[in-house]
Amino acid sequence: MLFESTSHRNALELLENNPTYLTDWHNLKSVIEGVSDAKLIEYFNTHSAGKNKSLSVAINKVLKDELVINGWRAESPIFQDPNYEGDTWRLDFAKNKIAAEVAFNHGEATSWNLIKPNLSGELNHVTKAIQTEIGVIITATENLKRAGGFDSAVGTYEKFLSYLKPMRQMLSVPMLIIGLKAPQSFHITHRTLNNKKVGVITPFDSII
């Protein structure tokens, strides 16, 4: 997929130039760029047709499959303490010194999505299960939100950027915010099936 990005605390410069992060960052970037329209269409038509409203499940699944194959740990706990277990205290993915979140959830979760990679990268009074140094957040641009049939309440790349300025002093860890762009060959339209709104892959040259 095509994407744009915004660097917080020089994250991109570190990812592109520091040998500690370079290999894993190029691997992550390659996985994102490898999420083609064809892969999304195949997954959506096989697993999401008649069930899902948007591309979010398809994008999540394709990214997860490829990242796990490339050695990224999915659902990595931040802390060792059993009092801090479960989805709230997990990263979507982690590898060596990079924490990655795929954020297609409700806009109200934007702050927490920014805080989790920060927790995994800074010192803490709770014993860590993982110690990262840079966070990467992967989310949808407003364009993908519209073209991908996402719910109106989903937080976007643009919303993450609006949160960075007031939260800057809280977010001490370098972080790269990635906004995925809309597919180039199709978009999602909605139809009602059994009283449920579902998504349909619609090529741009189709007459609706």
Q: What backbone torsions phi and psi does residue 159 show, to the nearest 5 degrees?
A: -70, -40
What residues contact residue 52 under an 8 Å CB cut-off, 6+ apart?
Answer: 44, 58, 198, 199
Nearest to 135 by CA among 92, 105, 169, 106: 92
Convert the pLDDT of each residue in 86-123 to its tens digit. Answer: 999 999 999 999 999 999 999 999 999 999 999 999 98
Residue 38: predicted pLDDT: 96
- What integer pLDDT is reported at residue 3 of this predicted model? 98
Extended strands (E) in 44-193: 73-77, 90-95, 98-103, 134-140, 175-180, 186-193
22 vs 136: CA distance, rounded Å: 13
Q: Which of 188, 174, 196 is nearest to 55 (CA)?
A: 188
CA distances (Å), 178 to each of 7, 29, 96, 110, 141, in order? 9, 10, 20, 14, 9
- Give pLDDT < 50 ranges for the chain: 207-208
Check residue 206 and give its pLDDT.
Answer: 56
Q: How far apart are CA 185 and CA 205, in angstroms?
A: 8
User: d(Cα 203, Cα 180) in Å, to the nearest integer?
Assistant: 19
**Domains of the chain with bracketed CATH:** 3-203 (3.40.91.20)
Cβ neighbours of residue 150 closer than 8 Å, sequence gap 6 or more: 53, 54, 55, 56, 104, 140, 144
C-alpha distances in angstroms, 86 versus 11, 76, 136?
28, 10, 21
pLDDT at 49: 84
Whole-number pLDDT of residue 208: 45
Rounded CA-CA distance 87/91 in Å is 8
